[in-house]
Amino acid sequence: MRETGFGKYFHIRPTEAIWDRASHWDVKDMVASGPRNDIPFQALFDASPTPLLVLAPPNWTIIAANEARLRVTGTSRDHQIGRPLFDVFPDDPDDPQADGVANLTASLERVMKTRSADAMTVQRYDLRDPTGQFVQRWWTPINTPVLGEEGAVEYIIHRLEDVTELMKMRGEAEARDQIARDQQAIIETLRATELALRESAERLHFFRALEERLFACADAYEAMRIATEMLGQKLGVSRCAYADVHEDGDKFWIRNDYNAPRMQSSAGAYSLDLFGPRCRNGPASHE
């Protein structure tokens, strides 16, 4: 028997899932460590007005559902906990154009691959009513990963909003376009945020590496050499140089430089006119 991070409440076997109804599911297991252990995470989870579902890959096994999710789908925990998502919520077999399962599967797989949230545009995903008949429903889902200690995706939080009434009131075409624009804005914001965080982490890593190398330098010349070399390689340029201006203000000296393979060093003295109208004259001198 393999016990998941929610093993205190149910166990996943290769062929079945058992849920301990007596103790109920406690969201605290998702944050096993932290400065506060007295926060009632189960109550917060169930009190959320947003429908939430927790899935376990690779079969998208349903391991938790909050009260809002149960209400909006007209289901119970007994009906779904421990079962694969698409066994509980399949496509309408009588609708050849139904693509809810395919679209949601693609989103969940993107989350597994990128280890980042995936916001879907408005989706039609019909559900069964109490009589067993499929009824038309529209949703805007967002799937968010929960990473384990090794950085792998252990769970996915499936969040959605029921926009069926909005679709009916505004007309399917108009509502779908508007919600799609709103969701696209969310997607672009998520991507921009993720990119900014990644770039920030990369810059921090570079400066830490540069700091370590500079602390080990024996003199200023070695520090200049290392700084220009690391910065040039980081920027991916063919030449990176360190220079200072002579006290008479007529020349500048390139003391040290980094050059890509097969590039000549530019170290030497140059006229400041290179930056003025007489730049066509080239270097005033080269020492």
Q: Is the residue at 248 inside a domain?
A: yes
Task: Give domain status of residue 108, yes or no.
Answer: yes
| 45 within a domain of the structure (yes/no) | yes
- 175 located within any domain: no
Distance CA 55, CA 81 (A): 10
At 243, the pLDDT band (50, 70, 90 cuts) reads confident
pLDDT band at 279 (very low <50, low <70, confident <90, very high): very low
CATH code of the domain covering residue 160: 3.30.450.20
Same domain, 24 and 148: yes
Q: Are residues 233 and 154 part of one domain?
A: no
- The pLDDT value recorded for residue 225 is 80
Q: Which residue has the higher pLDDT, 153 or 241?
A: 153
Mean pLDDT throughout 271-287? Answer: 53
Q: What percentage of residues in the chain have a pLDDT greater than 90?
A: 31
* pLDDT in the model for residue 37: 59
Q: End of a domain among 168, 189, 205? A: 168
Whether 130 and 264 share a structural domain: no
Q: Provide the pLDDT confidence category of residue 14 given band limits of 50, 70 and 90.
A: very low
Highest mean pLDDT among 2-6, 88-92, 161-165, 277-281: 88-92
Residue 148 lies in a domain: yes
Q: Work out the mean pLDDT of the chain and round it to a whole number.
A: 78
Assess whether 275 and 159 both reside in one domain.
no
128 and 258 assigned to the same domain: no
Residue 173 lies in a domain: no
Q: Do 85 and 15 share a structural domain?
A: yes
Q: Is the pLDDT of residue 23 over 70?
A: no
Domain count along the chain: 2
The residue written with tokens 């203000």 in the block is 249
Q: Over the stretch 30-86, which tens digit does the pLDDT of each residue have? A: 444 445 556 677 788 888 888 999 999 999 999 999 999 999 898 899 989 999 999
Please state, in angstroms and as integers, the Cα–Cα distance from residue 98 to each residue in 31, 92, 191, following that order. Answer: 37, 7, 28
The answer as to whether 238 is a domain residue is: yes
Range of the domain at 17: 10-168
246 within a domain of the structure (yes/no): yes
Q: pLDDT tens digits, residue range 211-223?
A: 887 887 777 778 8
